[in-house]
């Protein structure tokens, strides 16, 4: 009789443990499944973002964002999916509008990011080929004493060209899109583009650099009267 009672209790205990174990396995299995689904959805979402670059709206002269000093980026920010997509969108926007350079404040993002590229630009037919260059937190550490006057335009200033004095060569210390330190020695058109775009990060547009506003021209008049100089 006692043995039967013990056996019954043992079966009940084991049955209770079994139910608890079964419940725990099921509970954590559901959690694991949901976490896996969340990860899968996140991967698919960001893959969707990476595969769909956007044409961004360009800030025009008068927008306060063009007069602000842009914020530097931390390593964590540089590696974020948001900033990486912003860089891709800036490149796409620059190409869409036939620019040879674009700074983040020009697309309403007060961040120290610049993209530069020149490859058969219609707006700047005289520009040499410049491979796609990404600059983050750039600083010009050297300006040549030699300067030259040259015509410049800007997506944020509209259909204008103006004569701006610039150093003919510069050295830029910057981070690339992977957050690695890079130094760039540039001369000629590339040096001018670097100075122009980095000015944007400090709230400066090319009009501020002009010595004489008499040398400001609408684009069509520039092409008709001055482009062949």
Q: pLDDT tens across 147-176, in order?
A: 999 999 999 998 999 999 999 999 999 999
- pLDDT per position as a tens digit, 89-140: 999 999 999 999 999 999 999 999 999 999 876 677 778 899 999 999 999 9
Asked if pLDDT for residue 45 goes beyond 50, the answer is no
Q: In the annotation, is 197 catalytic? A: yes
How much is the pTM?
Answer: 0.77
Q: 59: pLDDT confidence band, cut at 50, 70 and 90?
A: very high
The catalytic residue among 117, 197, 221, 223 is 197
Q: Is 133 helix (H, G, I), strand (E, B) or coil?
A: strand
| Domain covering 64-226 in this structure, CATH number | 3.90.45.10
Q: Which residues make Cβ contacts (< 8 Å) with residue 145, sequence separation at least 6?
A: 167
- Reference 116, options 183, 40, 193; nearest CA is 193
């Amino acid at each position: 009789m006692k043995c039967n009672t013990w056996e019954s209790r043992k079966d009940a205990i084991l049955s209770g443990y079994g139910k608890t174990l079964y419940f725990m396995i099921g509970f954590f299995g559901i959690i694991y499944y949901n976490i896996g689904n969340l990860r899968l959805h996140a991967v698919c979402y960001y893959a969707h973002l990476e595969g769909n670059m956007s044409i961004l709206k360009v800030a025009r002269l008068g927008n306060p964002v063009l007069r602000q000093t842009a914020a530097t980026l931390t390593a964590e920010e540089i590696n974020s999916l948001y900033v990486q997509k912003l860089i891709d969108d800036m490149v796409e926007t620059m190409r869409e509008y036939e620019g040879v350079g674009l700074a983040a404040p020009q697309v309403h993002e007060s961040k120290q990011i610049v993209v530069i590229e020149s490859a058969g630009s219609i707006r700047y037919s005289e520009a040499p080929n410049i491979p796609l260059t990404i600059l983050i937190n750039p600083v010009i550490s050297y300006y040549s004493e030699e300067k030259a006057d040259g015509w410049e335009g800007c997506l944020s200033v509209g259909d204008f060209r103006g004569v701006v004095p610039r150093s003919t060569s510069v050295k830029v210390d910057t981070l690339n899109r992977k957050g690695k330190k890079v130094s760039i020695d540039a001369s000629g058109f590339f040096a001018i583009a670097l100075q122009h775009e980095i000015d944007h990060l400090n709230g400066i547009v090319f009009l501020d650099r002009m010595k004489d506003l008499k040398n400001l021209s609408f684009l069509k008049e520039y092409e008709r009267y001055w482009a062949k100089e």
